[in-house]
Structure 1
Amino acid sequence: MIAEPKTVTSAALDKLPLFATDLQIAIAVVGKQNASRWKREVLPVLEPRGFPRWDPLHEGRPVPLVKQFYALYFGITHGFTLANPGGQEKVWLGKRLERKLDDEERRRAAGEDVMELDPGTDNPKKLRAIAEYRAKKAAEFCSQR
């Protein structure tokens, strides 16, 4: 009989049941010596990044999704995401547009009658990001006065 390897392999995850406890997953991922640290420190960091949630009905986490998570985490698979990292999507506006919006809000805070800049897009996410940026800048310039 061949001794089980000391390093973590996909074979360690393959030996788990369909739903495994956090301890079972931790042992399969980082080994027995580091399992408690992984559960305590690493698991809370991974959950917001899309690590599969605990299923109370099956009293465990779905192992196939754990495998998918790590495949994505290591960049093995491309083209899909399990969850939005950090929980919020950031829409890029660009420095030029931000400077124009800054100037517009600064002039408006100074009391000038300024026409609102045409955003040049119909994308609802970008329009929402522009509105949020305008509101943030308006609040900054009003607080400075």
Structure 2
Amino acid sequence: MKAITSVFLASALLLASCGKDGDSETQLDGKPVLSARVQAETRSRIEFARHVKPILEERCVWCHDGSDKKMPYKLTNREEAFKNKRIVPGKPNQSLFYLAASGQHPTLKMPAVGIKIAPSDLEVLERWISAGAVWPEGAAGQLKGR
């Protein structure tokens, strides 16, 4: 299934470049990355590896892994993700990452192409940032790129 998804996403990227306009024709509605059971766990606690990392790897890193110089926002590790107020612990409404992913930023909409982040997954990301955006250092906090 991942291979099919990868082929589809690669095709979408060939048809449209990632940009700032958030053209709805290049975005497909996405199903939640997290199952309903795993989603329910996030009501009491959010663990980066179990709840946040899968969303970032499925919906963000395929474009923001640092392999494309046109994508200046690298999201494969904590240091890069937190640069320049991209993620502001405790403040999702001041975090460029969250504002773009949720469609609240006035000009930047992510993903620009590909599969949209499901509302339930956005809710997990918002709560994670609100709770301090704990992102482990080292190997535990590394995301898989393409």
Find the structure with the greater CA-based Rg: 1
Asked if these proteins are the same fold (TM beyond 0.5), I'd say: no
TM-score (norm 1): 0.22
> Which structure shows the higher helix fraction?
1
Task: Give the structure, 1 or 2, with the largest relative contact order (CA under 8 Å, sep 6 or more).
Answer: 2
